[in-house]
Chains A and B, each alone.
Chain A
């Protein structure tokens, strides 16, 4: 039931690079990049846009957590860290930088696949919650604009509320525009006719 994934791996140990390459491939994934520090990892992500990143923490130049933060800010990709350390400060940073799984070395082959599948699924859930929240925020903002346009119609056209709203709906359908676009135009038109010194009212 493995979903084949495109994976980028970072570890400064050659043994581990070889290990990940072979084991992940064995499990049906495609290893798109194997690098040995954080900078290279960010570059590899930019180039390959992998589905998943598996990285060590302590590496030369940029460490794995720093790379995870940058990757999260630029592309939504789940990140798993595999490290020899379990200091609370590192775990805390990993949490803040949206790391999806934290594995402590030594890990075995049998540890890898469960971690991958949990991390990917959690990340997807996270992403969908994230977009859901974004669309809710947008809907709320649209509603504010529409309410304001409706208020203008009621005041200038001496209309009651249901009539004003129906007029907005009719305008949108006649002009083949979204309700919020019509509302924005009404507000803009109102500002154009308003006296210049009172433009901010």
Chain B
């Protein structure tokens, strides 16, 4: 038998022998049998719900079975009823069937028949219980689900059932929901997805669509609906599961926003952002590097970073650094130049860090690089100017001492000249000493002039007057030479300059031309207007008819101590550049000039 609790059976029989006999049979079969003599007595029974069956005698002192059956049904709704009767008649059987009597047993009682009947009832009962449990489970799931559940008629879209969650979330009473169609709670079904949900008759396939539900108060919220088909009492219904995805959508949007933000940060950053895989291949980099290097990401993606961007002598060392970074040693701020597409070099300060995927595996290296090329140039210039300033201080002291010493030497030389009198050989030697001493003097003054800070005393004036004066002051140098100054002006070259300094500039340029050119020397000075960064400038060209400059000379002409002359310090053009730049101007060699040398000076016009 069963291993559950013993099943209880109630026997209502007025004949004590039959009653005892029935109870014995049942207890032998393992049931718990309660026996009473009348219906009214049976009402005292306390475990009515537990009863499996009632064995009812057809004739009882308080009425026959036909009269009592409705009352018994009400008193024991779950119990199956077996009628025991002494004689078989049709009316009795029909009445019994009408009252859903489970079985009909004739006296004398055949224990085997009774046993079979009871066991069939027990079997039915177990099946019914299982069914009810399953139904309860389903109901429980349905009601307590966190999702909104609906049972919908696929033809009309009518909501046949809905769970509590659906009612509360939508702001309706459950009964109100049952009078609506699924379309009533969905925001406009333009895409026809709802019909797809209801009409997609492929039972094996669960449809999932996103919709907006409309609450009773008109507010909406996004849901994801999936549907399955059910057979319910011979008809097909659709079971819809709707999940509120407000949070999910918000989270997804936040993620998208976060990603967009990060992307725009990477793309607009004025720094290199570079990702390499573990083998040093390029995974991605940002627009900054594209603009800096001239390479598009598409053309070098998956290529080896070191072979593409790093000069050959540095490659092995950097590959070693990549391995260090992959081992978890981050690199901070080391400077490593990259080679751009055009072949030029940029100094970059790098910060490297290894990258891991969500599983914690190392997938590559993230490098952030700052272009420090300009910074380094500025630093070098600063260093240079510091050096110059130190030299300048030294030279100021030296210049005084040298002037006094030179003065004594000069005085003695002149006295010597008097003492020597008329001795041509001695006088020639004195002249040569004088020459050397003059040169030494000039050297000291030039070095001092280059190293000393430039203080400008600026005035508005015509540059033409200044270069003409410079030309006039060179008359001693021009003596015996065939040299002419030609002017081509398209504008009156008024500028805001230190006349003395500018004269120094022109004198230097003219001296260089006179030294480089053979006669007849022609120096062409031109002036025209120019706009630089929205400011009016004067552009002066000084063009001679000499042999021109070599590539090296063009490159190095403004370097201190660079000279092609046998005499001279090589400071002349460096001083010229300093003076022009002190005027916020620019000076350069005209590379486009095909004959002779052409120097271009651009000076701001200054306030009108």
A84 contacts which of B404, B412, B414, B415 (Cβ < 8 Å)?
B404
The interface-forming segment of A104-112, A116-124, A142-150 is A104-112
Smallest CB gap from B418: residue in A: A22
B411 touches A84 (CB 8 A): no
Which of A16, A18, A104 counts the most chain B CB atoms within 10 A? A16
B404 contacts which of A22, A23, A105, A108 (Cβ < 8 Å)?
A105
Q: Does A130 contact B (CB under 8 A)?
A: no
CA distance A107 to B412 in the complex (A): 12
B415 touches A105 (CB 8 A): no
Output the least CB separation between A23 and chain B (Å): 7
A106 contacts which of B401, B403, B415, B418 (Cβ < 8 Å)?
B403
Contacts of B404 in A (CB 8 A): 13, 84, 105
A108 touches B403 (CB 8 A): no
Smallest CB gap from B403: residue in A: A84
Complex interface residues of chain A between 152 and 174 (CB less than 8 A to chain B): none
Complex interface residues of chain B between 393 and 418 (CB less than 8 A to chain A): 399-401, 403-404, 406-412, 414-415, 418
CA distance A104 to B404 in the complex (A): 10
Seen from chain B, the residues whose Cβ lies within 8 Å of a Cβ on chain A are 399-401, 403-404, 406-412, 414-415, 418, 441
Contacts of B409 in A (CB 8 A): 106
Output the least CB separation between A92 and chain B (Å): 14
Smallest CB gap from A83: residue in B: B403
Contacts of A126 in B (CB 8 A): none
Contacts of A82 in B (CB 8 A): 407
Residue interface bits A75-102, CB-to-B below 8 A is 1, else 0: 0000000101100000000000000000
Q: Can you list 26 A-B pairs with a CB-CB distance of less than 8 A?
A: A13-B404, A13-B407, A13-B408, A15-B408, A15-B412, A16-B407, A18-B415, A19-B411, A19-B412, A19-B415, A22-B418, A23-B414, A26-B418, A82-B407, A84-B403, A84-B404, A84-B407, A85-B403, A106-B403, A106-B406, A106-B409, A107-B407, A107-B410, A108-B410, A108-B414, A109-B414
A16 touches B415 (CB 8 A): no
Contacts of A19 in B (CB 8 A): 411-412, 414-415
Output the least CB separation between B416 and chain A (Å): 11
CA distance A183 to B404 in the complex (A): 62
Smallest CB gap from A82: residue in B: B407
Output the least CB separation between A63 and chain B (Å): 14
Smallest CB gap from B396: residue in A: A87
Smallest CB gap from A23: residue in B: B414
Complex interface residues of chain A between 3 and 49 (CB less than 8 A to chain B): 13, 15-16, 18-19, 22-23, 26
Contacts of A107 in B (CB 8 A): 407, 410
Smallest CB gap from B406: residue in A: A106
CA distance A99 to B410 in the complex (A): 24
CA distance A21 to B441 in the complex (A): 24
Contacts of B412 in A (CB 8 A): 15, 19
CA distance A104 to B400 in the complex (A): 10
